């Protein structure tokens, strides 16, 4: 059995990790930590897990976690993981960071967008960006995996085939994305209160959202040259889910068959569905699936590519488990749901 530790186990992404790994046939939860709730049982915080996970929560001590586990998941605020992870730690366990500290290749870009110091820049080259559909072979056997952000996972996978095949212009790409409130985390914030969110929708992080450089980094690799995108996220009054609607100008002569051929790159991907209809977040809720579709607007010459994920599963915990499975040589689907928990 794979011994697993989770630091930040009571946040939304950490709790989703506990839920998924509790039924993973090859894993056992050996160390659950929460600075806010140390000494309490996990099921005291999440009563729905009573009888499933009643483990006592420890302090966020990565040294103890590395001694107790083969894989350590970090679900912590920006800046903390880079202060904890070291070469010595990586000699003891695999680290999968659900935060942003190892996603960006450049220390300067990270510090500019996150406005915090990166404490272990020497490890940036060690880390692999854990988007399996793009970097599967690089993930195998790696010790440090940077789990992608939720908006980024949805947006990158939706646009990647078009840029990889060279079907769209690299300039003028617009990503209009919407997320449920769990994307803001479990911490108490005025802007996340029910009365502040319900019956409303609002943009935020306009021209400043921290996922922007991550999207540009990976789409630039897809295109083979530098890509700049206009990314605008929105908060919608639902618990979970992300919908990315992406606009790009098609190159002259590109037709439906060319687009279909480009997206065929995802044939055989266990967690990507190319659908004829339009994606809806309710049909991926609770799963590690990505639903993608597209439409060509002949009037404007644009393609509208659309993707939907569950931000806590494929956008966080589920993808982290998928990365663990790949890194350790398991079938990547092990322990991960494909069909939606509720089909309507």
The pLDDT assigned to 336 comes to: 96
**Confidence tier at 344 by pLDDT (50, 70, 90):** low
CATH classification code of 151-309 = 3.30.360.10
Res. 194 pLDDT band, cuts 50 70 90: confident
- Average of per-residue pLDDT across 115-131: 96
Residue 342 has pLDDT above 80, yes or no: no
pLDDT at 195: 87
Q: Please give the CATH number for the structural domain made up of 2-126.
A: 3.40.50.720
**What's the DSSP call for residue 231?**
E
Q: What secondary structure does DSSP assign to 136-169, as a single string?
A: HHHHTT-SEEEPPPHHHHHHHHHHHHHHHTT-B-
CATH 3.30.360.10: which residues of the chain?
151-309
pTM beyond 0.85: yes
- H/E/C letters for each residue in 115-139? CCCCCCHHHCCCCEECCHHHHHHHH
For 35-60, the pLDDT digits (tens) are: 999 999 999 999 999 999 999 999 99
Residue ranges of the chain that CATH labels 3.40.50.720:
2-126
Res 192: pLDDT: 82
List, by residue number, the catalytic residues.
150
Rounded to whole angstroms, the Cα distance separating 218 from 233 reads 18
| Residue-by-residue DSSP string for 68-85 | H-SEEEE---TTHHHHH-
């Amino acid at each position: 059995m794979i011994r697993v530790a989770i630091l930040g186990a009571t946040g939304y992404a950490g709790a989703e990790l506990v839920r998924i790994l509790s039924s993973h046939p090859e894993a056992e939860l050996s160390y659950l930590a929460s600075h806010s709730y140390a000494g309490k049982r996990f099921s005291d915080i999440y009563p729905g897990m009573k009888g499933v996970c009643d483990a006592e929560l420890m302090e966020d001590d990565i040294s103890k976690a590395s001694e107790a586990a083969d894989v350590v998941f970090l679900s912590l605020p920006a800046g903390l993981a880079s202060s904890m992870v070291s070469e010595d730690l990586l000699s003891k366990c695999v680290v999968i960071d659900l935060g942003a500290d190892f996603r960006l290749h450049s220390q300067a870009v990270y510090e500019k967008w996150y406005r915090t110091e990166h404490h272990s820049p020497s490890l940036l080259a060690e880390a692999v960006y854990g988007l399996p559909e793009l970097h599967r072979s690089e993930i195998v056997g790696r010790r440090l995996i940077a789990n992608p952000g939720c908006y980024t996972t949805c947006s990158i996978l939706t646009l990647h085939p078009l840029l990889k095949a060279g079907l769209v212009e690299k300039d003028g790409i617009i990503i209009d994305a919407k997320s449920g409130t769990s994307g803001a985390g479990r911490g108490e914030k005025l802007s996340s209160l029910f009365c502040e969110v319900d019956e409303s929708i609002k943009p935020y992080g306009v021209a400043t959202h921290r996922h922007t450089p991550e999207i540009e980094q990976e789409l630039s690799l897809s295109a083979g040259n530098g890509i700049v995108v206009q990314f605008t996220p929105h908060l919608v009054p639902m618990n979970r889910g992300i919908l990315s609607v992406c606009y790009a100008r098609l190159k002259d002569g590109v037709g439906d068959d060319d687009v279909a051929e480009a997206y065929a790159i995802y044939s055989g991907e266990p967690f990507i569905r190319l659908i004829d209809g339009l994606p809806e977040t309710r049909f991926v809720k609770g799963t590690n699936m990505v639903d993608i579709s597209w439409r060509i607007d002949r009037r404007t010459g644009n393609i509208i590519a659309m993707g939907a994920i569950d931000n806590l599963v494929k956008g966080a915990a589920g993808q982290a488990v998928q990365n663990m499975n790949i890194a350790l040589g398991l079938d990547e689907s092990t322990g991960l749901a494909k069909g939606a928990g509720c089909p309507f």
